[in-house]
Amino acid sequence: AQSVAQPEDQVNVAEGNPLTVKCTYSVSGNPYLFWYVQYPNRGLQFLLKYITGDNLVKGSYGFEAEFNKSQTSFHLKKPSALVSDSALYFCAVRDANTGTASKLTFGTGTRLQVTL
Amino acid sequence: NAGVTQTPKFQVLKTGQSMTLQCAQDMNHNSMYWYRQDPGMGLRLIYYSASEGTTDKGEVPNGYNVSRLNKREFSLRLESAAPSQTSVYFCASGYGTANTEAFFGQGTRLTVV
């Protein structure tokens, strides 16, 4: 079975400071990893994904994520946080061996609060 | 760009009533999904359709049925609503391969009283 853990319910950071939202995963095969963002009363928006290749993946709105196979982690980062980044962030995983777009498993979400 | 459109946006049902949540996508995607979002539990897959004409159970299918009406539309039906089905429901679609992301609708907030 595949699973995702987001150990922090909330992350607080001051505007202009770097931010990290943590994610660890478990799959039997190779992982495909995704980050989504959800603004209040909205659906989830895709930020970035890791499929293969470079461990540092760059995505929308200045976000990036680092894939670490040995630590089974895919932490989301941004060098300088903005108040407008405040939202709910979800990490998701799919087993690459499934071959089809079936089970995309989500974490429980991390609320990012950026303050002035 | 419509993307994934869900109707209705809000609904209040009485216990035992039935209703159908509608979802349509205009991106020519093969796969479609229904998730529910509950506080502290993230998103859980209810049903999915890998391609037109097929549907499969996800993690929490009990109490729900689905219909993939055509390539564009994927509906979710609650035959006899229960308070435990109070949730926010999201429809999503994707190209149908494991390495592609899903695109989400704006959600339906359902309350069962």
Write out chain A residues lying below 8 Å of B101, CB-based. 34, 46, 49
Could you tell me the two tokens for B18? 């039935």
pLDDT band at A103 (very low <50, low <70, confident <90, very high): confident
Q: A8 to chain B nearest CA, in Å?
A: 11
- What tens digit of pLDDT does each residue of A14-43 get? 999 999 999 999 998 889 999 999 998 888
Q: What is the mean pLDDT of chain B?
A: 94
Q: Spell out which chain B residues touch chain A, with contact meaning CB-CB distance below 8 angstroms.
A: 4, 30-31, 33, 35, 40-45, 48, 50, 56, 58, 90, 92, 94-107
Task: Return d(Cα A31, Cα B103) in angstroms, integer.
Answer: 19
Task: Return d(Cα B95, Cα B112) in angstroms, integer.
Answer: 33
Nearest to A64 by CA among A115, A19, A112: A19
pLDDT band at B1 (very low <50, low <70, confident <90, very high): low
Cβ–Cβ below 8 Å for A46 and B41: no
As a whole number, mean pLDDT of residues B15-23 equals 97
Is pLDDT of B2 > 80? no
As a whole number, mean pLDDT of residues B41-69 equals 93
Q: Which residues contact B15 (CB under 8 A, 6 or more apart)?
A: B81, B82, B83, B112, B113
Quick check: B70 and B94 in contact, CB under 8 A?
no
- What tens digit of pLDDT does each residue of B68-97 get? 989 999 999 999 999 999 999 999 999 888
Alpha carbon of residue B69 to chain centroid: 13
Q: A50 to chain B nearest CA, in Å?
A: 9
How many CB pairs (< 8 A) connect A and B? 70
Q: What's the confidence (pLDDT) of residue A83?
A: 96
pLDDT band at B35 (very low <50, low <70, confident <90, very high): very high
B96 or A9, which is more confident? A9
Quick check: B29 and B95 in contact, CB under 8 A?
yes
Question: DSSP string covering A23-37, please?
Answer: -EEE-SS-EEEEEEE
Nearest to A10 by CA among A114, A116, A81, A91: A114
The residue of chain B nearest to residue A40, with distances taken between CA atoms, is B106
Is pLDDT of A101 > 60? no
B40-52 CB burial, b ≥16 within 10 A, e <16: eebbbbbbbbbee
Residue A28, Ramachandran bin (φ over 0: left; ψ between -120 and 50: alpha; else beta): alpha
Q: What's the confidence (pLDDT) of residue A100?
A: 58
As a whole number, mean pLDDT of residues B53-78 equals 95
Q: What's the confidence (pLDDT) of residue A99?
A: 58
Write out chain A residues lying below 8 Å of B94, CB-based. 101
Task: Return d(Cα A27, Cα A37) in angstroms, integer.
Answer: 22
